[in-house]
């Protein structure tokens, strides 16, 4: 169980397009049981496994240390995004669920995001003695999907069981150019907002008998596009609002449409909340005769630099010779939920090929990452928190 390459191959070979369930969790359970972990698996969500609305499978595993010892958690996801076409122009060179070595690279969907990191976590704990402290795994099958019944359900389970990690490390692929150059100590929040303006359909030659919603929507989007949210903070880049969709579904050149819709996405720093931004957008929409329906998918968070980040940075530097940049850039992750449980930092493999065809990880990076994770676990279990 100390060889992350063979473990990664087993996980990649278990097809697990989001929402994941079944075989990939069977593999992980089989890896953890010989290491002394008690494994609990459960499902959440609507429908049944195999139906159109599948339930999400989750796994919580724990190996308890001495009474009163620290508790360090590894977290991640076993689900992967759909691989896309296989073969031909623009398709995968090989089957994405048949791991294949080519030189120093291991190819397969999830090699980077994030079955490779989970394999390194498992290999890492094989080298952590049980008397060092308590270690757990918080693993979901619904990170790449809606994330409604995954990590949040795991948090509910831990709270119901009275389980509280002291620190948590999420294995998202955070490295950019080479393993070790970046870790994430926070993330911006995210809110998507659906906009709508109702009008009255009519003939373009008789505009007095119609009400064109498009000028109102254009005015609304213009004001939103020019909205200055902030200039950033010490640890966060400026918040940004992007128009991601504009549609009137009008295929006729001589018809004034009955409705215009649009969607915006805002990634925001800790100067805002999802609620405050939603309120602002709703008011602007109403001003232009429209409506806004916000869906908040995450709030910003920061694990302030300190003992945890210093320890992890040293573990990375000791194995790679690189001092990682502490960043809050990029998209959201399940760390946005886990931060409500304990301080959380993200660190993992190079992200250049994640979600792409021919996703691949450098096999030496898997071995190095396992050693970093071993150092991180030992360091976290000895920190005063």
Question: Average pLDDT in the 110-124 region?
Answer: 98
Report the DSSP beta bridge partners of residue 43.
57
Same-domain check for residues 225 and 96: no
Residues 8 and 92 in one domain: yes
Q: Which residue numbers belong to the known binding site for Zn(2+)?
A: 77, 113, 144, 172, 355
pLDDT digits (tens, 9 = 90+) for 361-383: 999 999 999 999 999 999 999 99
**What is the rounded average pLDDT of the residues 167-185?**
98
Helix (H) or strand (E) run with residue 277 in it: helix 274-287
Residue reference for tokens 């720093």 = 269
Token duo for residue 45: 């969500």
Q: How many domains are contained in the chain?
A: 2
What are 56's strand-pairing partners? 44
Q: Which of 298, 320, 349 is the last residue of a domain?
A: 298
Domain membership of residue 230 as a residue range: 189-298
Joined together, the tokens standing for residue 266 give: 């805002």
168 shares a domain with 24 = yes
Q: Are residues 103 and 160 part of one domain?
A: yes
Which residues are part of the catalytic machinery? 79, 143
pTM metric for this prediction: 0.90
Together in a domain, 165 and 242: no
CATH number at residue 213: 3.30.70.360
Q: Is the pLDDT of residue 105 over 50?
A: yes
Task: Select from 251, 266, 298 the last residue of a domain.
Answer: 298
Report the C-alpha gap between 217 and 184 in whole angstroms. 37
- What does the pLDDT look like over 262-282, one tens digit per residue? 999 999 999 999 999 999 999
**Residue 48 pLDDT > 70:** no
The domain boundary, picked from 250, 278, 298, lies at 298
Instruction: Please enumerate, by residue number, every residue annotated as part of a binding site.
Output: 77, 113, 144, 172, 355
One domain, residues 178 and 194: no
């Amino acid at each position: 169980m100390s060889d992350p390459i063979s473990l990664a191959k087993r996980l990649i070979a278990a097809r697990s397009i989001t929402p994941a369930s079944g075989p990939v969790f069977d593999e992980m359970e089989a890896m953890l049981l010989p290491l002394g972990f008690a494994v609990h698996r459960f499902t959440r969500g609507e429908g049944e496994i195999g139906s159109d609305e599948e339930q999400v499978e989750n796994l919580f595993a724990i190996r308890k240390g001495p009474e009163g010892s620290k508790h360090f958690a590894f977290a991640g996801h076993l689900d992967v995004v759909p691989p896309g076409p296989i073969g031909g122009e623009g398709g995968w060179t090989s089957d994405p669920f048949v791991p294949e070595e080519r030189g120093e690279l291991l190819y397969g969907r999830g090699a980077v995001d994030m079955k490779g990191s989970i394999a390194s976590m498992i290999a890492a704990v094989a080298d952590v003695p049980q008397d060092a402290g308590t270690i757990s795994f918080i693993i979901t099958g619904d990170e790449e999907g809606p994330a409604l019944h995954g990590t949040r359900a795991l948090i509910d389970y831990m709270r119901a069981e009275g389980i509280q990690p002291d620190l948590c490390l999420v294995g998202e692929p955070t490295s950019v150019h080479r393993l070790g150059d970046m870790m994430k100590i926070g993330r911006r929040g995210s809110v998507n907002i659906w906009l709508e303006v109702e009008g009255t359909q009519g003939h373009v030659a008789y505009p007095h008998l119609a009400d064109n919603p498009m000028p109102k929507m254009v005015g609304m989007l213009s004001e939103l596009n020019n909205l200055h949210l902030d200039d950033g903070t010490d640890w966060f880049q400026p918040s940004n609002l992007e128009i991601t969709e504009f549609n009137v579904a009008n295929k006729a050149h001589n018809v004034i449409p009955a409705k215009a819709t649009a969607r915006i996405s805002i990634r925001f720093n800790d100067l805002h909340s999802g609620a405050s931004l939603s309120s602002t957008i709703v008011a602007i929409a109403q001003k232009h005769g429209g409506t806004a329906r916000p869906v908040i998918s995450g709030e910003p968070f920061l694990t302030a630099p300190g003992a945890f980040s210093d320890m992890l940075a040293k573990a990375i530097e000791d194995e790679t010779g690189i001092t990682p940049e502490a960043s809050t850039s990029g998209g959201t992750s399940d760390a946005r939920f886990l931060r409500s449980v304990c301080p959380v930092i993200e660190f993992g493999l190079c992200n250049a090929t994640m979600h792409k065809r021919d996703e691949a990880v450098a096999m030496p990076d898997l071995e190095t990452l396992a050693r970093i994770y071993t150092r991180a676990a030992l360091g976290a279990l000895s920190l005063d928190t």
